[in-house]
Chain A
Amino acid sequence: MAQLQITVNGVAYQHEVEPRLLLAQYLRDVLGLTGTNIGCDTSQCGACTVLLDGVAVKSCTVLALQANGSQVTTIEALKTNGNYHPLQQAFWDNHGLQCGFCTSGMILTAVDLLKRNPNPTEEEIRRGIEGNICRCTGYQNIVKAIQAAAAQMR
């Protein structure tokens, strides 16, 4: 067991954890933040994507202890003061989700993408979400949603 100090969505936590506890499991099972989903065990699907110190990471491939002292942002914190994040709004407006299981990861990946590239082309968006698999939407409306959010955020 080891000490973990971590700030998740602005709240500081301290827990004794097993070293093998993955960040995704910590968020889901320990903190009850189940908006972060787990869709695979080989780091492909991206459903578990969260922001770790501001950048998108696959939380199933990070030990909770590797995030010791870090700031984590999950989907639960994206809506602020009752307002959806422009990406959340755009996913809703543009039917960027169906079953919703990939959505948290998609949105957080897109947050990272738009931070690095506020004005991406369609191709850059399609490449930017290569680490996120959606089996439902065929991606077209996800791309549209990210384009719409980018325009909104610029």
Chain B
Amino acid sequence: MATQIIGSTVKRREDPRLITGNGTYTDNMTLPRMAYLTILRSPHAHARIKKIDASKARAMPGVLAVYTGNDLKNGGVNPIPVGWVLPDIKIGPHYPLALDTARYTGDGIAAVVAIDRFTAQDALDLIDVDYEPLPVVVNAEKATQPGAPQLHPEAANNIAFYWKIGGGDVERALAEADGVIKQRLINQRLIPNAIEPRAALADYQPATGQLTLYNTNQNPHIIRLLLALVLGQPEHKLRIASPDVGGGFGSKIYLYADEVIACFASKQLGRPVKWTEERTENYKATIHGRDHVSDVQIAYKKDGTITGLKVKTYANQGAYLSVFAPLVPTFLYGPMLQGPYTIPNVFVEVYGTNTNTTPVDAYRGAGRPEATYLLERMVDLVALELKMDPADVRRKNIIPPFLNGVYQTCMAYAYDSGDYAGNLERALTNAGYVELRKQQAEARKQGKVVGIGISTYTEITGAAPAQVAASLGAAAALVESALVRVFPLGKVQVMTGSHAHGQGHETTFAQIVADQLGLEVEDVEVVHGDTDRIPYGAGTYGSRSQAVGGAAIYVATQRVIEKGKKLAAHMLEAAEADLVFEDGKYSVKGVPSKAVKFTDVALEAYWPRKVPADVELGLEATAVFNPSNFTFPDGTHVAMVEVDPDTGKVTITKYVCVDDVGKVINPMIVEGQIHGGIVQGVGQALWEGAVYDDNGQLLSGSMMDYALPIASYFPKFETSRNETPSPVNPLGAKGAGEAGTVASTAAVANAVMDALKPFGVKHIDMPLTSEKVWRAMNGKL
């Protein structure tokens, strides 16, 4: 029984509260004397703030305070720091409310606190601001050109960082290749759209100096650290609680201006202050993702062998560097451009530039979808050029299986384990690839426009080996902690620094513990999202929860077992070394009848009868897991699409995938992660895109204009898995949260390009809207 809990489908324990409307999302919370915060944002993407007159707003009945940037600064509030510091990085300070210049339309100009939501909203209309509009730049490449408007004096030519990495000799590869393809690829800007907008409820107790922030956040401990620095609030008097969070996808990793202002206001006013984001506000004020412009060269031999890849990328960072922004287009992107292939020569250079747009940071996949899309498009272009089947080009270049070892790439990373080639074949077989190609040929004869796309990927998860991360620029260690506490009657609480906002940790983490201790899942309660209850944590992003957070729990549980063994030895009057722990019992090796149950040991730990006085009592253990390497999930996705020849509208007709996310704790949950990931990735391929006009106004400013995937846009996905355990952590887990998104964008984009092959179309940029596809088919690009 017990040993089967890991790897089996256990229904989620978080669901009973969520299906009955008892979720504890931040905006659901109400405290006595709670006031409401609203934020006036700049109508201009770039403007000097000449004067702010808030007198009418201040005079409005019910308004408790109006703050400006200078009020905050004079009140001791510091700029929001950047948590990933690359060498030579240029950081324009990001004050929670703009001081004298607004740099994007999400920039806060003033904040109102009032006794109710309505008053707080109405008062915004009474603040008069005198702006002097400044020239605007929204494009990451144009921002670097001479004469472009400058955002920060610190960053000349708006270049916040220049970064490069490489392996082998790419120039030689280009020179000696049979062929080189050059292509510009645009990876468009996306809006994360967690369905719960952000919210913050700050509660400062003047009598004790204790500040509590309830917040929609993926990593409360990191927020505590950052907030302590920004506010000067000592960290031992600062509690961050992230209760139920309605999705994150990266957008809720960072410390934002809004929660800083809520905390400041609560401290000033001595009463709780709540801020709830509106969706149209979210589109401006919450980070965006992607937004790369890349010039690519790929070198290949006649037989399809890829010999080199050279990439220059402009990565739009938006108006300010968000907390982890510099990490995303660098270490999560550049070294992953070798992908699942044996390409020996790669060079990548990246310009991270400031523009008058919403800051860009990690959004589901963060860097790896950009890398995978780029590489998979280029591989298909090689196939097109050589008139080879795209599957064959992949076969030619894919890394052979390395199940029990590492694969050293030509750049920084060494992949942990995998059967990339096998997964490619499995996916092609599951999709019936040969048959699909026949169907395609048949359909084309009938005038149909049908395409098949393949995306083979590997990505990087499990951040991070702390020392490696620190050497790469991490300002905070990304290890993970766990505390496993056994109560006298044998029930267990697990405190984890990971945070779940849909991933089901309360279930899978309980499975890990129950499995080892021989308990039922119901006996284990998982506590997350509260800095006062959990020793430390780095949170949830980058698909790290199982590989790092789960691993910490595993280790802590092992320590509990070891500790219990000492107690059991006394209870059984046997030597510790002679005991084994199995199925929830300590027993003497070879004498199964001489045994004591784990739950009895738990009682003994708190209520000693046989254990002598010098043995440490209590039964709990902590662990901090610092992995020896990252983990590298991989897989292959295959999509088939049909294009309406009259309108260009794309319909996905088939979707098949094989993913290796390492050892799976709960297949149902992993499958759900893959489904969700696929839809998000396909959203980028076909519909989604944040569009700014030249004045920096967000034209796709609401859900009316930003096309999110809905149920009727999809067929049923055929998912499957192939598990190669990661050697990096004791669970063998790699990471499942982003794989679907990393892979699916390129699969669908390649399928559409494949469909357009008879029209002589080689490449069009995403999103592949009906109009773009129609234009491509009709030579109207």
Contact = CB atoms under 8 A, between A and B. Distances in A.
Interface of A: 18, 20, 25, 28-29, 32-42, 44-45, 47, 74-76, 78-79, 84, 88, 91-93, 95, 97-104, 107, 122-123, 125-127, 129-130, 132-143
Contacts of A104: 21
B118 A20 contact: yes
Contact of A41 (B503, B702, B716): B702
Given A79-B20, A95-B12, A100-B502, A129 B711 contact: yes
B280 interface: yes
Q: Which of A25, A34, A122 has the most CB of B within 10 A?
A: A34
Contacts of B278: 41
B758 to A, nearest CB: 29
A138 B678 contact: yes
B30 A32 contact: yes
Contact of B503 (A25, A35, A98): A98
Contacts of A40: 279, 702-703
Given A95-B668, A137-B672, A88 B118 contact: no
A47 B25 contact: no
A100 B244 contact: yes
A98 B502 contact: yes
Interface residues of B, number: 58
Contacts of A101: 23, 25, 194-196, 246-247
Contact of B19 (A32, A91, A123, A133): A91
Interface in B713-732: 714, 716-717
Contacts of B779: none
8 contacts: A41-B280, A95-B671, A97-B18, A103-B19, A126-B711, A137-B675, A138-B674, A139-B710
Given A25-B117, A75-B19, 12 more contacts: A34-B27, A39-B195, A40-B703, A95-B11, A98-B502, A100-B17, A100-B246, A127-B711, A132-B710, A136-B672, A138-B679, A140-B714
Contact of B279 (A42, A79, A92, A103): A42
Given A95-B669, A133-B195, A143 B711 contact: yes
B245 interface: yes
Contacts of B503: 98
A19 to B, nearest CB: 11
A76 B23 CA distance: 11
B781 to A, nearest CB: 31
By Cβ-Cβ distance, the 8 closest A-B pairs, closest first, are A35-B21, A101-B246, A100-B18, A138-B675, A98-B502, A99-B502, A75-B21, A34-B28
B767 interface: no
B207 interface: no
Contact of B247 (A18, A91, A135, A141): A135
A32 to B, nearest CB: 7
A107 B20 CA distance: 10
B30 A135 contact: no
Contacts of A107: 19
A39 B279 contact: yes
A38 B246 CA distance: 11
Given A41-B280, A98-B676, A141-B672, A135 B20 contact: no
Q: Which of A28, A97, A123 has the most CB of B within 10 A?
A: A97
B668 A140 contact: no
B18 A135 contact: no
Contacts of B16: 92
A108 to B, nearest CB: 10
Contacts of B20: 35, 75-76, 78-79, 84, 88
Contacts of A122: 716
A95 B28 contact: no
B717 A140 contact: yes
Contacts of A138: 672, 674-680, 714, 717, 740
A140 B668 CA distance: 12
B246 A37 contact: yes
A20 B122 CA distance: 12
B124 to A, nearest CB: 14
Contacts of A98: 247, 502-504, 672-673, 676
Nearest to A138: B675
A37 B279 contact: no
B22 interface: yes
Nearest to B24: A34
Contacts of A45: 195, 279, 703
B21 A102 contact: no
Interface in B451-477: none
A28 B668 contact: no
B708 interface: yes
Nearest to A75: B21
A131 to B, nearest CB: 8
Nearest to B678: A138
A41 B28 CA distance: 17
A39 B118 CA distance: 18
Contacts of A137: 672, 675-676
A36 B21 contact: yes
Contacts of B245: 99
Nearest to B675: A138
B394 interface: no
Interface in B1-47: 11-12, 14-23, 25, 27-28, 30
Nearest to A77: B21
A36 to B, nearest CB: 7
A29 B278 CA distance: 16
B15 A91 contact: yes
B332 to A, nearest CB: 21
Q: Which of B16, B246, B673, B702 has the most CB of A within 10 A?
A: B246
Nearest to A84: B19
Interface in B649-706: 668-669, 671-680, 702-704
A35 to B, nearest CB: 2
Nearest to A123: B712
A125 B712 CA distance: 8
Contacts of B716: 122, 140, 143
A8 to B, nearest CB: 12
Contacts of B25: 34, 37, 101
Contacts of A20: 118
Contact of B680 (A126, A132, A135, A143): A135
A33 B23 CA distance: 11
A142 B501 CA distance: 18
B629 interface: no
